[in-house]
């Protein structure tokens, strides 16, 4: 999955699966908006929310160049893993460090 971050002219940051570029923008699937949520201790943590509440799940959307501030950016692995889990129901295993799992 080619998961990227898109910073929009509205100030929103989206995380979405980039399918391809069109020359006029980017075709993406399953866009989620990134929010910072504060816990009771005041610490911030990232959270995702649906970008559109009424859109067909899995629909392809074109983000036009004039609405995107910069080229799609790479994201950190933990954010990509969380995105994949939320959009595909696939549960990814935690990193095991130097352990090798055998069956």
Residue reference for tokens 């866009």: 31
Q: How confident is the model over 28-51, as a mean pLDDT?
A: 90
d(CA 72, CA 16): 10
**Could you read off the pLDDT of 57-97 as tens digits, one per residue?**
889 999 999 999 999 999 999 999 999 998 887 666 665 55
Answer with the residue of higher pLDDT: 99 or 13: 13
pTM comes to 0.80
pLDDT tens column, 39-49: 888 888 889 99
Q: Is residue 93 part of a domain?
A: no
Q: Residue 27: inside a domain, yes or no?
A: yes
Residue 45 sits at φ, ψ, to 5 deg, of -145, 155
Is residue 25 a part of any domain in this protein? Answer: yes
Residue 75 included in any domain: yes
Tell me the residue range of the domain where 79 lies: 3-88
94 domain residue, yes or no: no
95 inside domain = no
Q: Look at the chain and report how many structural domains it folds into.
A: 1
Q: How far apart are CA 93 and CA 100, in angstroms?
A: 13
CATH number of the structural domain spanning residue 79: 2.30.30.100
Smallest Cα–Cα separation from 13: which of 28, 32, 37, 27? 32
In a domain, 103, yes or no: no
pLDDT higher at 39 or 3: 3
Q: How far is residue 64's CA from residue 56's CA, in Å, rounded to a whole number? A: 19
Assess if residue 97 is contained within a domain: no
């Amino acid at each position: 999955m080619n998961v990227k971050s898109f910073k929009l002219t509205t100030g929103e940051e989206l995380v979405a699966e980039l399918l391809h570029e069109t020359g006029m923008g980017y075709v993406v699937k399953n866009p989620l908006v990134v929010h910072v949520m504060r816990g009771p201790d005041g610490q911030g943590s990232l959270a995702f929310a649906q970008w559109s509440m009424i859109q067909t799940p899995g629909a392809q959307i074109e983000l036009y160049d004039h609405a995107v501030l910069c080229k799609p950016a790479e994201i950190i692995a933990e954010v990509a893993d969380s995105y994949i889990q939320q959009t595909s129901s696939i549960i990814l295993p935690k990193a095991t460090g130097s352990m090798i799992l055998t069956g």
